[in-house]
Every structure is written in C-alpha cells, then in structure tokens.
C-alpha cells in the first residue's frame, strides 16, 4: 500500500498546519505534499519555514503569484487595490531568499507516476470542484494523462471518479469554507493497484489566530481581518464582504467597510475603528 498526504491551501495559518502535521506524524504516510497557496495569511513566514523544515514540496498557487507581483513598478493594475494590502504585507514579511524559493515552485508535480498535483486556477491548473463541467474534466484528463488528478484552490474537499480518473480536491487546511472550521487534509491510498482518497479533519485552537494575526491585520487592514474571521468560522466571508462593500458602501475605505460588515455579521472586530 502507498499513502500520500496532500495539504491544501495553508494561507499562513500556522496552528492549523501544525495540528495536521502532528496528526500525520502518527499516521506516517510515505510522503507529504502541499497544493499551493502556502502564504498570504496571519503567519506566512513561519508557515513556509515549517513546511521547508519538514521537506514538504508542493506547487505554485495564485497567492504565491500575488505576493511576487503585488509590489513593484510593473505591478498589474488589478493588484494595486486595497484588496491586495495583505499580500503586500506578506511580501514584506518574507526574505529575498524565500521569495526566490517561491518563484521556483513548479506549476505541476507528480508525487507518483499515477498522480498529477496542481493548484487549480488559470495558468496554474484546472479548477476541480462540484461545479466543474465534464468538458473541463476531460480537458484535464487530456493534459495530464494520469489516473489521479489532485488540486486545491476552491477550499472545499471534493472527490469524483469520472471516466476512469479520480479527481480530488484536498480543500484548505488553513481556510476551509464548507462550514467545518477544522483543518482538512487528504490521503491518497493505493491498494492492489487501485487509488482512492480519504479526507480527515483536525481540530485546533482557532482562538490563537487573532493574536497571531495582529501584525498582519494592522498592516493589511480590513481585508486581512475578514480573512481571519473566515479561518475561525470555516465559512466564506471574503465574498460577502466584497459584495456588501460594493453594493452598500461604495466609496468607503476598506477599513470602514470592514467595521460595518463586522457589525452586520455580529462579529467582534479584530481591529479598532480608524476614529478610535
């Protein structure tokens, strides 16, 4: 039997990653890989250092791309908005050596000759989720040509066998949005030549996150604060925040929009109002 663990989308959530790695120490898989989006969260540098110290390889995600592109003379216009303040803060947290390391991550990995691992969006892979069409799945089959195709990006665990291919989404260890805030991971298992996947969830102390994220929130503002709420609650918060900001408070500064959103959602604000 072969067992390969996949950690999807940590997003700098160090306590979640630590909890999953403790569980995996007991489980002793043959290998561990990450599915990208390691950074752009409360404790990005230490999360990256932890994975490096364990020798856990992985693929390049869209948040790695944001960090590399968000702060320079050639920054694309779409990355210049307040929404990407947390990414700019994350970039300043990382060393030049770490930025070079991230830039070297591959778009695609083969943890086993039978398995393709991608992040799952745009130029960095196919989106694999409940809503993915059969045509997209066939395109992925043609492009990758392996019996198992694994991705992250959607922050929701997913399994589907389609025309002989096992499609898997490992979810997000750091920011799940399926209503269960526990940290998920996936274990691919091959028995008697057949691959299957099981998903596990690990409880961890989410009350640690606001304090760990204090510096990141102070730097990144309201968008960073909403991200931490999303981590704590295990449900999508950034999309409703952006929609309400656009529809209800157009023209408001991001931090003001965050205070209004927190009040509307009954959340304890993670940052003080600007007037305080």
* Secondary structure class of 187 (helix, strand, coil): strand
Residue 22, both tokens: 């403790």
* Secondary structure class of 213 (helix, strand, coil): coil
Reply yes or no on whether the pLDDT at 151 is more than 70: yes
Q: What does the pLDDT read at residue 276?
A: 46
Query: For residue 169, how many other CB atoms are within 10 A of its CB?
Result: 31
Reply yes or no on whether the pLDDT at 180 is more than 60: yes
The CA-atom distances, in angstroms, between 128 and each of 55, 62, 168, 170 are: 26, 15, 7, 10
Whether residue 163 contacts residue 147, with contact meaning beta carbons closer than 8 Å, is answered with no
pLDDT top residue among 103 and 70: 103
Residue 65, both tokens: 């791309």
Reply yes or no on whether the pLDDT at 71 is more than 90: no
- Give dist(CA 276, CA 266) in Å, integer: 19
- pLDDT tens for each residue of 214-231: 999 999 999 999 999 999
- Give dist(CA 226, CA 55) in Å, integer: 31
The model carries a pTM of 0.95
Cα–chain-centroid distance for residue 179? Answer: 16
Q: Across the chain, which distance is largest between two alpha carbons, in Å? A: 64
Instruction: Report all structural domains of the chain as residue ranges with CATH numbers, in order of start.
Output: 2-202 (3.60.21.10), 210-265 (no CATH)
Whether residue 221 contacts residue 85, with contact meaning beta carbons closer than 8 Å, is answered with yes
- Tokens 């940590």, residue located: 10
In terms of phi and psi (left: phi > 0; alpha: psi -120 to 50; beta: otherwise), the region of 89 is: alpha
Whether residue 163 contacts residue 122, with contact meaning beta carbons closer than 8 Å, is answered with no
- pLDDT tens for each residue of 183-205: 999 999 999 999 999 999 999 99
Average of per-residue pLDDT across 109-116 = 97
With a CB cutoff of 8 Å and minimum separation 6, the contacts of 86 are 40, 216, 219, 220, 221, 223, 224, 227
Mean of per-residue pLDDT scores for the chain = 95
The CA-atom distances, in angstroms, between 22 and each of 44, 46, 87, 208 are: 19, 16, 28, 17
Residue 83, both tokens: 């929404």
Average of per-residue pLDDT across 130-135 = 93
Q: What percent of the chain has pLDDT over 70?
A: 99
What string of DSSP letters covers 97-150? HHHHHHHT--SEEEEETTEEEE--SGGG----STT--HHHHHHHHHHH--SEEE
Reply yes or no on whether the pLDDT at 98 is more than 70: yes
pLDDT band at 275 (very low <50, low <70, confident <90, very high): low
Q: What does the pLDDT read at residue 93?
A: 95
């Amino acid at each position: 039997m072969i067992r390969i663990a996949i950690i999807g989308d940590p997003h700098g959530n160090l306590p979640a990653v630590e909890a999953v790695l403790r569980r995996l120490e007991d489980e002793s898989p043959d290998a561990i890989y990450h599915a990208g989006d390691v950074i752009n969260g409360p404790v990005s540098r230490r999360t990256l250092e932890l994975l490096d110290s364990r020798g856990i390889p992985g693929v390049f995600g869209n948040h790695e791309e944001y960090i590399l592109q968000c702060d320079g003379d050639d920054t694309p216009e779409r990355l210049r908005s307040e929404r990407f303040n947390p990414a700019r803060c994350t970039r300043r947290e990382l060393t030049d050596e770490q930025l070079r390391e991230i830039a070297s991550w591959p778009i695609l990995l083969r943890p086993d000759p039978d398995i393709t691992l991608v992040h799952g969006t745009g130029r960095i892979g196919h989106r694999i989720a409940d809503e993915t069409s059969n045509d997209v799945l066939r395109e992925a089959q043609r492009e990758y040509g392996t019996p198992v195709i694994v991705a992250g990006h959607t922050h929701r665990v997913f399994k589907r066998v389609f025309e002989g291919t096992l499609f898997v989404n490992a979810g997000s260890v750091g920011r799940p949005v399926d209503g269960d805030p526990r940290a998920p991971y996936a274990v691919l298992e091959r028995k008697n030549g057949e691959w299957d996947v099981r998903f596990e969830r690990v409880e961890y102390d989410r009350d640690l996150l606001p304090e760990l994220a204090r510096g990141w929130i102070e730097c990144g503002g309201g968008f960073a604060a909403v991200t931490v709420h999303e981590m704590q609650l295990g449900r999508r918060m950034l999309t409703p925040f952006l929609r309400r900001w656009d529809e209800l408070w157009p023209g408001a500064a991001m931090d003001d929009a965050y205070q209004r959103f927190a009040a509307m959602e009954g959340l304890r604000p993670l940052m003080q109002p600007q007037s305080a």
